[in-house]
Amino acid sequence: MNAVLIGVILMLGLSLFRVNVIVAMTISALVAGLTAGLGLENTLNVFNNGLSGGAEIALSYAMLGAFAVAISKSGLTLILANKLLSLVNSKNKDSASYLSMLILLVIMCCAIASQNLVPVHIAFIPILIPPLIVIFNKLKMDRRAIACVLTFGLATSYMVLPYGFGGIYLYSILHKNLTDNGLEIINTDVPYAMIIPAVGMLIGLLIAVFFSYRKPREYQSSEMTSERSDLVVEDQHKVLVAGGIAVVCSLLAQNVSGSMILGGLVGVMMFALFGLIKWEQNSDIFTKGVAMMAMIGFIMISAQGFASVMKETGDVASLVQTCANLIGDSKPIAAAVILLVGLLITMGIGSSFSTVPIIATLFVPLSLEVGFSAMATVALVGTAGALGDAGSPASDSTLGPTSGLNTDGQHDHIWDSVVPTFIHFNIPLLIFGWIAAMVL
């Protein structure tokens, strides 16, 4: 029995039955370790050692949460929300629909820019999305569609655009690991091999926005998301200028240092220096920021422990070998098996960037033996790595959207982020990744 297969399926099954994701990962890691013969003590040691890898990510989220709270307290979000609310209130039903689409387009552009243009990754989500919740509620926008838009921008852009994080994935990780394992291809050809799988992602997005989640959806208003027309920002010009400077400084600090922690800290300090928040409020702001991001942070920490156990079992290689024995010389079957195994591995590890180095050593020789071309091999390994990133409970691409959309507790991580993105992105990726392998 393959420990990786059992661990991933159990983790997904428990999550779908609404068992807390952290509990599901912990139980699944223990079961996988015991199945692989690691023993209880060794499994716990590996799991605990892996937890440290998620500490920096969790603290980054907490700091970004504090930055989001500081932006809210400064009045910047109130100005934005009131301006958008005035547009919403003045529009008829058809115009409101166009406004909804415009908002989705802006969010998607921000998500793409966060990967390729201003590589802040998911850092923008807890800052941009929470103040817009009142607008989403007013327009009765289905947050599952917004989650799909965010995930599309976060995942598809690094798959095909060789800039920012896309350059890291396509050149530094995918191309390097392919060539290290015997594939001869120049790095500039790698993005072209990923175009067909990216088209599948685009089709999935269009289905999600225009068909699956097009109907209005009601959400309960809370104190956090209700329209508060009685509140007025006294000096809007100062708030807009100082707030803009604080956001820019935060982005610059993160880009220069490569640390989301420093970026969030600089942002909070800038708001305090400009007097938009009081110095004595700092403790309260950080406390609320940690509270807002606590669940996401702990899921990320648990995910690192789970991934460590999956790797320690050593059953990834045996899983691939078992599949290789079933393939024979059939290209269609080989392509399907490679993609499905990649889906399982990435769903467990939660990161395509971490998955590619593992599967490249196993799949490149297999692809060359079956007779796939260099471009087809790139498409297979690149898609196999990206598969699962969109639909994993432990992935940044699903945790990021949840961190912003669940501000008022009405957006379930599994059923409103993970399941919609899995259906609309992983299934098209499987289909179009297979097509790419057949035609390239």
Q: Is residue 377 pLDDT above 50, yes or no?
A: yes
Judge whether 435 lies within some domain.
yes
The pLDDT value recorded for residue 226 is 52
pLDDT (tens digit per residue) in 264-279: 788 888 888 887 777 7
Q: What is the mean pLDDT of the chain?
A: 81
Judge whether 223 lies within some domain.
no
pLDDT, average across residues 171-193 = 86
Judge whether 358 lies within some domain.
yes
The pLDDT value recorded for residue 229 is 45
The whole domain housing 182 covers 3-216+228-439
Count how many domains the chain has.
1
Q: Is residue 406 pLDDT above 80, yes or no?
A: yes
pLDDT, average across residues 316-325 = 70
Q: Is residue 213 pLDDT above 70, yes or no?
A: yes
The pLDDT value recorded for residue 230 is 46
The pLDDT value recorded for residue 196 is 93
The pLDDT value recorded for residue 6 is 85
The pLDDT value recorded for residue 85 is 67
Q: Is residue 282 pLDDT above 90, yes or no?
A: no
More confident residue, 368 or 45: 45
Q: Is residue 188 pLDDT above 90, yes or no?
A: no
Please give the model's pTM, rounded to 2 decimal places. Answer: 0.78
Judge whether 221 lies within some domain.
no
The pLDDT value recorded for residue 416 is 93
Judge whether 304 lies within some domain.
yes
CB atoms within 10 A of CB 48: 11
Q: Is residue 131 pLDDT above 50, yes or no?
A: yes
The pLDDT value recorded for residue 424 is 93
Q: Is residue 93 pLDDT above 80, yes or no?
A: no
pLDDT (tens digit per residue) in 214-234: 998 988 876 555 544 444 556
Q: Is residue 198 pLDDT above 90, yes or no?
A: yes
Judge whether 420 lies within some domain.
yes
